[in-house]
Every structure is written in C-alpha cells, then in structure tokens.
Amino acid sequence: MAGSSRREVKVPLSVQEEEFAAACRDFVLERKPDLAASIVIVHNQLRIVNDPHVRLAFVELGLARLVRVLHLAIEGKAIALKRVPRLLFDLASYKRKILRALGRAD
C-alpha cells in the first residue's frame, strides 16, 4: 500500500517519556538531520513517520544510544543513586512502549 508508508505512528508520552523521546530524537538528528520532519514530539505525543528507515533510525540511533548514555551516566555516578531504580524502570517501560508501537507499525 503506497499511501500507508506516510502514516504516522503515534505514541502517548508521560513527562519522563517525553524527555527520553526528545533525547532519542536529538541523537537521531545528529546523524540524520533530514529526518527532522519525520520524528516529532507534540502535545505529549511522539509521532514517527511509518517508514522502515525512519523507525530503524529511531531505534538504532536514538533508543539504543539513550540506553547506552544512561547506563554510562549511572556508572559514572552522574545521576543520584536514589534516582537510579526509578529511572531504569521508566527507561525499560519507555523502551517496551516504543518497540511495541513501532513493531505494530508494519
């Protein structure tokens, strides 16, 4: 279906998830600035164009890097120890939510 490739995947976000999504988007745009219009955060919602290369870029360049950066920040003690359990829980929930939403996009 030619028309379905432009459809957006819409994911509702909590405040913490919106911060994660913004970081993921920034990571993607560092490497692929041409995707700026394809990955948008608006009204507490992440909108990603339903295109395989956009979804893959978000997961590989954005989400994977977010996970690495947060783990490095925790190891380097850049994040207060008392915040770590909740942050890891929120990150795991966000990751599951995004992967589930993007997996349904096909």
Predicted TM-score (pTM) of the model is 0.87
29: pLDDT strictly greater than 50: yes
Neighbours of 83 (CB within 10 A): 11
Q: Quick one: pLDDT band at residue 51, thresholds 50, 70, 90?
A: very high
Residues 24 and 13: beta-carbon distance below 8 Å:
no
Residues 99 and 60: beta-carbon distance below 8 Å:
no
Q: Quick one: pLDDT band at residue 1, thresholds 50, 70, 90?
A: very low
Q: If we measure between CA atoms, which residue out of 95, 85, 79, 74 comes closest to residue 17?
A: 95
